[in-house]
Structure formats: structure tokens, C-alpha cells
Structure 1
């Protein structure tokens, strides 16, 4: 079974990049960008990563300054808060977001 995950406050808010693409992060939901259209956050476990397939599930795990975020069985992304910016690391590129 999936366990709920609350996103830390420092990552929450409405973020946009220079191309006006939005990423909205609330306590239990992440939507926008390439992550999910409207995803509910759950704790990242090996079983959840392998068994659950849905565009409405976003698996999250905090490791130090990084917040790992991904769709089940998808490519992981990393969110890092750098001052007033939020950096989204996807595969080989980095997207800088601001409020």
C-alpha cells in the first residue's frame, strides 16, 4: 500500500521558469511541467516504484537538500532549493524556477 507524503514547506508554492511553464507544489499535490498533470504525493519505496502505474501518483523522497520526485517506473527528477530559486534536475538538464 502507498503511504502519504507531505512535501516540506520550503518546496511549496507556484513556480515558473523563463518560458512561463508552471510547477505548482502544495502539501500533498504536485502539478505542472513534465512531472504530472495533477499528482498526489506518496512515499517512495521499491515496491511502490515497481507496482503502481498512474499519472496521478508522484513518489517523493527527501535526501539531504534534494527532494527526489518521479512518476512510478519513470525517470527520477530532483528538486533543490537555492535561495529564492528552485532547481529542477531532469535527466541531463537543469531548469531554474522562480516564484
Structure 2
């Protein structure tokens, strides 16, 4: 798992930046997951001020998918990448991480 957090000066600024970041994550740069990797729309596992989820279109050589969740929680933009081959286990961890970030995110 990899977590990136951005704290912005206001919820409005976070909302604007979230829209741009969430769209850009749909087509990750080649150095993020490897060349030729594409993502499909995923199902968000947590409901907050804004959320967008993606999953890699096909598993890697070890059978893993990358689940990418982007959230806006007040002034915070959180991007969470979860690597896993068990979709239900990954879903549980993704939700737990989002809950913990949201509980501490400044509004």
C-alpha cells in the first residue's frame, strides 16, 4: 500500500484540485505501474466529500491488481494505492485506511 496526502488551504481549493487529480489518475504515467498499464473505473469503498476509484485492467505476473482510491476529505486529498490479489481482502483494507484518514482530516 502507498498513501499520498495533500493538505490544502481550504475545502474549496481541495475540491478544485481533487477534480483534476482524480481525472488524471484514470491514465497513470508509465513509471507509476509500468508501461502499458491501464485502469478501469472501480467501485469506491468509502463515502466522503469526494471519491473516485480505479483498478488496473489486468493483473501483474503475480496475479495482483492495483486499486487506486482518491478521496477529498475536507481540505485533504488522499490517494491510496493498494496492491493485492484477493479483491475482498483488499476492499477491507482500503476501507479501513479511508476511515482512519477521514477521522483525522482537518475540515
TM range (shorter): 0.3 to 0.5
Higher relative contact order (CA 8 A, sep 6+): 2
| TM-score between the two structures when normalised by the length of structure 1 | 0.37
| TM-score between the two structures when normalised by the length of structure 2 | 0.35
Identify, as 1 or 2, the structure richer in strand. 1
Structure number with greater Rg is 2
Identify, as 1 or 2, the structure richer in helix. 2
